[in-house]
């Protein structure tokens, strides 16, 4: 119950700040501060969170079999942001 309330409040606050929900009183929305033409370094493959899927899958399997902890391995983001 507490987790639900806290997470709803946090998300609504984030939505208000980003100007998403029109019915919420919007605090002046924050503008993205990294422009698309400034993403040269982020577009480099060296900055990718996950570069080669097969080798990473192998590492994940080796660890899953031997270690008790599992999960939360990753999501892709960043990159050139084109299109």
Partner 1 sequence: MSTSSPVRRAGAFLRLALCTSFAVIASTASPALAPATAAPDFTLNVMGGKNLHLKDQRGRVVMVNFWATWCGPCRQEMPQLNRLFEKYRASGFVLLGVNVDDDSSKAKEVASKLGVTFPVLLDTDKTVSKLYDLTTMPSTVIIDRDGKVRYIHRGYLTGYEDNYEKQIRELLK
Partner 2 sequence: MSLWRRLLGLLGGLLGGLFAAGHARAVDLPEDKVEALIHSYSGGGVNAYGPAVLVRKSIFDKVSLSGSYYMDAVSNASIDVVTTASKYHEVRHEFGLSADYVYRDAQITLAALTSHEPDYTANSGSLDVTQEVFGGMSTIALGFTRGSDTVLKHGSPEFHDTASHWQYRLGLTQILTPRWLMSANFEALSDDGYLGSPYRVARVFGAAVPERNPRTRTGRAFKTRLVGDLGSRDAMHVEYRYYTDTWDIKAHTAEIGYSRYFGDSWLADTFIRYYTQKHALFYSDNAPSETVYVSRNRQLSTFYDAGIGAKLAYTVRKVPGRYDLKLNGTYEYTRYKFKDFTDVRTGSPYGYAASVIQVFLSATY
Q: What is the closest distance, in whole angstroms, from the C-beta atom of residue 60 to partner 1 in the complex?
A: 21
Question: How many chain residues interact with partner 2 (CB under 8 A)?
Answer: 42
Q: Between the CA of residue 37 and those of 40, 46, 49, 74, 82, what are the distances in Å?
A: 7, 18, 21, 26, 9
75 binds partner 2 (CB under 8 A): yes
27 binds partner 1 (CB under 8 A): no
Torsion of CA 34, 35, 41, 46, to 10 degrees: 70
Binding residues for partner 1, rule: CB under 8 A, are: 3-4, 7-8, 11-12, 14-15, 18-21, 29, 31-32, 35-40, 43-44, 80-83
């Amino acid at each position: 119950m507490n987790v639900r309330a806290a997470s709803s409040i946090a998300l609504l606050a984030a939505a208000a700040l980003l100007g998403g929900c029109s019915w919420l009183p919007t605090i002046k929305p924050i503008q993205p501060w990294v422009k698309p033409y400034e993403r040269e370094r982020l577009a480099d493959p060296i900055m990718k969170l996950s570069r080669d899927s097969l080798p990473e899958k192998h590492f994940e399997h080796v660890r899953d079999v031997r270690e008790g902890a599992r999960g939360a391995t990753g999501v892709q983001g960043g990159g050139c942001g084109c299109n």
